[in-house]
Structure 1
Amino acid sequence: MKTRLIPALIFFLFISTASISQNAAQDSTMLKKLYTTALSDGKAYDWLDYLSNQIGGRLSGSFEAERAVKYTEAELKELGLDKVWLQPVMVPKWTRGFKEYAYIESPSGEKTVTNILALGGSVPTPNLGIKAEVVEVHNFEELASLGRQKIEGKIVFFNRPMQPDLIHTGHAYGGASNQRYSGAAEATKYGAIGVLVRSLSLKNDSAPHTGAMSYGDTPESKRIPAAAISTKDADYLSGLLKLEPQLQFYFKQNCKIWDDVLSYNVIGEITGTTYPDKYMVVGGHLDSWDVGDGAHDDGAGVTQSMEVLRLFKKLNYKPKHSIRVVLFMNEENGLRGGLKYAEEAKRKNETHVFALESDSGGFTPRGFSLETDAANLAQIRSWVPLFEPYLIHLFDEGYSGADIRPMKGNINVLAGLQPDSQRYFDIHHSANDTFEQINKRELELGAATMASLMYLMDTYGAK
């Protein structure tokens, strides 16, 4: 009896191996088509050109942000998707106002003009600005050790650099970002009248980098103005303080916090042929900071995500699952778009099985950062040979993306595209984030890489 089973087992193994080989060949062919089409007949670069150069910086609540909503909605409709709609979301509105002005004043009265940017969400200075002595600190522990006696009535200068020896620059950014986000709230506890924060950049230059900050539960009447200072000026100020501790710093900023306003997430969908009620999401955030044109952060992610669905339509690929592109509003200073999408998905009892975000710039893709369980991680890593011809090799556990993370716990796999990050924080949140910093081929490679992972997840499903 056992002897008779051996030929049958051999036949089964032969059929199974042949099937796996055939699937691998089909998948390889599909990935080749996706990369070839993206590189020879792509649309992401043209879309990004318009977003960057015809619309510009798209701070949530701004006229430019609303123009971006209308533009991307129209472009998605042009693709012939099954559904395109706007998802209403209330977003914060903060305006920068007239350009900031700052200088260092030595005890002898000599003034050195300094480059600063108000942090997003900061209150303005008084009309005449503020001028005070400066206390340099590197972390909240050092701030607390100085106490009210040495801080009250002064400007706190947070000067902790991003750690330069970390190859993953996102980790270096994370290690320094709390001083920007919570520095004003912490300094207020000790009577500071203003805050300067070293720009979160690994490059030594004169371009300050803005970003979101929060006052926590600080009463409105006690909130103090907060600004980013360029890395070059931060080093100069730090060196000067060692020689002249009594120097003063003057700055004036004219920003304003308004009431929340209505905006939208932009959503397009290709309905699945087999599982129309199971959703896969690909997206980026449509808003950006106002000082550049938001080409890398995150116009690149927006247009790459749109390109994923365009490639599927172009190649007449009909997905098993319903695939949505979601262009989230207000990632930069509130995350309202990501929170609203997750809230609506839960309210409608929608089943989401996969989400992919691009929000790390449009540089050369290296792979993906994945938030999932062991079974799904193993399946995705089994596809590594398919990606090797395109020099994609990172399939690591880690952070996926801010806008898709609100769905965590109700979704099987979250993934973030990981481009080469070495230059990203040179331009991030600064006036240097412009379309001229985009390489067309790198942008297109990222879009094809995202489309490839989306195709494989759709074909084989999440575990």
Structure 2
Amino acid sequence: MKKLLLSAAILFSGLSLQAQDSLMMRNIYDEALVNGQGYENLRYLCKKIGPRLSGSPNAQKAVEWGKKLMEDYGFDRVYLQEVMVPHWVRGAKEQGAIIDGNKKIPVPICALGMSIATPAAGITANVIEVKSIKEMQDLGESVIKGKIVFFNRPFDPRYIETGQGYGAAGDQRFVGPAEAAKLGAVGAIVRSLSPALDNYPHTGGTLSAPGTKMIPAAAISTMAADKLSGMLRLRKLPLIKFWFKQSCQTLPEVKSYNVIGELTGTDHPKKVITVGGHLDSWDLAEGAHDDGTGIVQSAEALRILKALKYKPKNSVRAVFFMNEENGTRGGLKYAELAAKNKEDHIAAIETDEGGFVPRGFGFDASPEVVAKINKNWKKLFEPYEADRLVKGEGGTDIEPLKETVPNITLISFLPDSQRYFDLHHTAADVFEKVHKRELELGTAAMASLIYLIDQHGLK
């Protein structure tokens, strides 16, 4: 009988705890959907500040805005974390054209981040189209030298998660120009990393190779890439040339900051749950989905918990990381200081895949831990259709924590991915492309996960 009563008590306790969590999550969602402030915060960030590439005056304005926002919310602690960042500037709008005989056909291009400028008159050369770095290397210096290499591998449409398509095609932008330089190319043109067929060129960082002279590198829109590829197939190579001109340069590094707000834990103030996104954005547009939505969601998650008078057991931080786009200096500095200060991070959540409909979270954890998370929390997220709790990775800004903080679990917010790379790194990434309700639902999912981790841990 005693065993039966004990079993009943344990079962009742479990049900009541589940009911308590369910009620808290309902309150979180109600606060986000009825009183949410993230959308208006995003409007200000995008429309009053705008593009905010590291080192720019707008990046500094964003730092000041972010600090004031979290101070006005009355977080227990708000501070700046100093970090030196690269300062790359685009200069005048880029120009590019296919040359067919004596006729120039203008096409949309944009310089890749951290690229160098062309000569003042631009570069004109024959084009060699390749689908991969290996294909280019197999052609060798005798074919590549003096040419413009045209990297034209599209997204693989078979990937359901478009981030996988981005990863599979991304090497041609990240290191393609540097590898082309080693073979004597005079320039590189890279098909925009997008599954969309449109005329928006997508910028993004490219890397230099130590000991190798950099060459000018630009992205070409997907429609223009198809046009150039078609012309190369139909005509003899010497008849088709490409001309492009860009004025970008790298200036001396600039002092900037991560912006951090904290709700201090009542029981374990030295244990930390971090949620964050990156404050910087590329210069072509407003950086709405990349990553304005992540910034406002991170601050809003803490605001919601505070509005509900929730007192976290562990310290919860919102971090606006600086310089994710062209250097990751903010993430590296945060991890460095976390180790130096001997901080015990339980988990870090990154939101940097857009503010679209939330689907769930990816956990950089063992299969056993992911199974436990699903067993305990999947049903809690089901009513909100954010119950895809899967094994995954963290994110660029929080990844350095894995090297400096033992036993941390990295988590990525997983919104619907289908539209993100249509906008990513383009002039189309503006406030108007963000849906208010989708943004608020994502915020509520993040605040709910923070609450659950704070209450129950992950392991």
What is the TM-score when the length of structure 1 is the normalising length?
0.97
Counterpart for residue 454 of structure 1: 450
1:49 has 2:49 as partner: no
Q: CA deviation at 1:386?
A: 0.4
Moved over 3 A (4+): none
Determine if contact 1:180/1:212 at 8 Å carries over to the other structure.
yes
- How far apart are the structure 2 equivalents of 1:397 and 1:334? 27
Q: CA deviation at 1:50?
A: 0.4
**Letter of the 1:212 counterpart:** G
Counterpart for residue 308 of structure 2: 315
**Letter of the 2:442 counterpart:** G
Q: CA deviation at 1:375?
A: 4.2
- How far apart are the structure 2 equivalents of 1:442 and 1:406? 29
Counterpart for residue 200 of structure 2: 207
1:139 to 132, 150, 159: 132
- How far apart are the structure 2 equivalents of 1:153 and 1:413? 48
1:387 has 2:381 as partner: yes
1:296 has 2:289 as partner: yes
Counterpart for residue 354 of structure 1: 347
DSSP-derived class of the 2:140 partner: helix
Deviation per CA, 1:165-201: give whole Å up to 9, x if none. 1101000000000000101110011110000000001
Determine if contact 2:179/2:209 at 8 Å carries over to the other structure.
no
Counterpart for residue 4 of structure 1: none
- Which stretch has the larger CA shift, 258-267 or 242-251? 242-251
1:236 to 208, 227, 232: 227
2:402 to 408, 411, 422: 408
Deviation per CA, 1:255-292: give whole Å up to 9, x if none. 00111110000001111011111011000000000101
2:434 to 438, 441, 444: 438
1:92 has 2:86 as partner: yes
Counterpart for residue 171 of structure 2: 178
- How far apart are the structure 1 equivalents of 2:103 and 2:5? 88
- How far apart are the structure 2 equivalents of 1:170 and 1:93? 27
Percent identity among equivalent residues?
Answer: 51
- Name structure 2 gaps, 5 residues minimum: none
- Name structure 1 gaps, 5 residues minimum: 1-6
Deviation per CA, 1:415-452: give whole Å up to 9, x if none. 11100000100000000100010000000000000000
Determine if contact 1:308/1:448 at 8 Å carries over to the other structure.
yes
Q: CA deviation at 1:380?
A: 1.8
**Letter of the 2:273 counterpart:** M
**Letter of the 2:347 counterpart:** F
Determine if contact 2:278/2:321 at 8 Å carries over to the other structure.
yes
1:77 has 2:67 as partner: no
DSSP-derived class of the 1:25 partner: helix
- How far apart are the structure 2 equivalents of 1:243 and 1:22? 71
Matches within 5 A, 1:17-32: 17-32=11-26
- How far apart are the structure 2 equivalents of 1:158 and 1:436? 32
Determine if contact 1:61/1:263 at 8 Å carries over to the other structure.
yes
Counterpart for residue 142 of structure 2: 149
1:34 has 2:19 as partner: no
- How far apart are the structure 1 equivalents of 2:59 and 2:357? 27
Determine if contact 1:372/1:412 at 8 Å carries over to the other structure.
no
- How far apart are the structure 2 equivalents of 1:57 and 1:240? 35
- How far apart are the structure 2 equivalents of 1:218 and 1:433? 35
- How far apart are the structure 2 equivalents of 1:216 and 1:345? 30
DSSP-derived class of the 1:415 partner: strand
Deviation per CA, 1:307-357: give whole Å up to 9, x if none. 011001100000000011110000000000000000000011111011111
DSSP-derived class of the 1:300 partner: helix
DSSP-derived class of the 1:408 partner: helix
1:227 to 212, 215, 218: 218
Determine if contact 1:38/1:447 at 8 Å carries over to the other structure.
yes
- How far apart are the structure 2 equivalents of 1:216 and 1:154? 19
Deviation per CA, 1:118-148: give whole Å up to 9, x if none. 0000000011110000000011110011111
1:198 to 191, 198, 209: 191
- How far apart are the structure 1 equivalents of 2:148 and 2:20? 63
Determine if contact 1:86/1:266 at 8 Å carries over to the other structure.
yes
- How far apart are the structure 2 equivalents of 1:16 and 1:323? 30
Counterpart for residue 3 of structure 1: none
What is the TM-score when the length of structure 2 is the normalising length?
0.98
Determine if contact 1:285/1:328 at 8 Å carries over to the other structure.
yes
Deviation per CA, 1:188-222: give whole Å up to 9, x if none. 11110000000001110110000011012144xx2
Instruction: Tell me how many residue pairs correspond in the alignment.
Output: 454
**Letter of the 1:418 counterpart:** L
Question: C-alpha root-mean-square deviation of aligned residues, in Å?
Answer: 0.9
**Letter of the 1:297 counterpart:** D
Determine if contact 1:412/1:462 at 8 Å carries over to the other structure.
no
Determine if contact 1:267/1:324 at 8 Å carries over to the other structure.
yes
1:122 has 2:122 as partner: no
**Letter of the 2:216 counterpart:** P
Counterpart for residue 418 of structure 1: 414
Counterpart for residue 396 of structure 1: 390
Determine if contact 1:185/1:218 at 8 Å carries over to the other structure.
no
- How far apart are the structure 2 equivalents of 1:131 and 1:95? 23
